[in-house]
Structure 1
Amino acid sequence: MQRLAFKMKLNKGQKETYKKRHDELWPELKKLLKENGVSEYSIFLDEETSTLFAFQKISGNGGSQDLSSNPIVKKWWDFMSDIMEVNSDNSPVSIPLQELFYMK
């Protein structure tokens, strides 16, 4: 099992919309993530900076960031593009974070 972490940026004033959309996560997206080894996925918000911190537990060598060519993922990106910082293809601007400490 691997642990991945990355950060993204939420647009100001979009906390409730972001939370609502994730509370209503599409079943097909959840299924896709699980089928691709994502067993846990948490996203935290630093309200002071609007920074989103994401954490995933995955089996195998990939995570949600490796599903960029999947039509379900692209549709989700389009759906989320109005409330967060995105690249030209509507993928979230995502910065990988290096793990420096882990306690079991």
Structure 2
Amino acid sequence: MTVRVGQLMHVYSDQYDEYERRHNNLFPEMKKALKEAGAHNYSIYLDKKTGNLFAYLEVDDVEKYDQISSTPACKKWWEYMEPLMDTNPDKSPVTIDLKEVFHLD
């Protein structure tokens, strides 16, 4: 069963271009880790007025996907992205999980 995931994050206003550039050059090992964790159909949208990011992805298994945070690829990516955005002490992005309230097939 595919699970749709929506999240909010925040990028600093002077880092919009760099944030996009880094995602356009996603580390191959991070892309592989995402695929192995069952993530697909992943998009991130930027509100240039606020710096808010909306991430949408689909995962095959939420528990399996959540394990990505312990992979070396993910930790490397977090460290790389940490200067650009709001992060937690472990360098993971500050993320707000959203509750889906409507979906049209």
TM bracket (short chain) = over 0.9
Letter in 2 for 1:6: Q
The whole-number CA distance in structure 2 between the counterparts of 1:47 and 1:63 is 32
Give, as a single letter, the amino acid of the residue that structure 2 aligns with 1:88.
P
Q: Distance in 1 between matches of 2:10 and 2:62?
A: 25
1:81, distance to aligned residue in structure 2 (A): 0.4
Distance 1:93 1:72 in 2: 18
Aligned partner letter, 2:27: W
Normalised by the length of structure 2, the TM-score is: 0.93
- Residue correspondence of structure 1 range 1-104 to structure 2 within 5 A: 1-62=2-63, 65-104=66-105
Matched residue SS, 1:40: strand
- Cα deviation code 1:24-54 (max 9, x no counterpart): 0011111111111001110000111100000
Q: Counterpart of 2:56 in 1: which secondary structure?
A: strand
Identity %: 40
1:66–1:94 CA distance, 2 compared to 1 (3 A): farther
Question: Is this contact kept in 2: 1:56–1:63, CA < 8 A?
Answer: no
Structure 2: gaps spanning 5 or more residues: none
Structure 1, unpaired ranges of 5+: none
RMSD: 1.3
- Deviation, 1:66, is 3.8
1:103 maps to amino acid: L
Q: CA deviation at 1:96?
A: 0.1
User: Does 62-71 or 2-11 show the bigger shift?
Assistant: 62-71
Normalized against structure 1, the TM-score is what?
0.94
The structure with the greater share of residues assigned to helix is 2
Residues 5 and 98, structure 1, Cα contact 8 Å, conserved in 2: yes
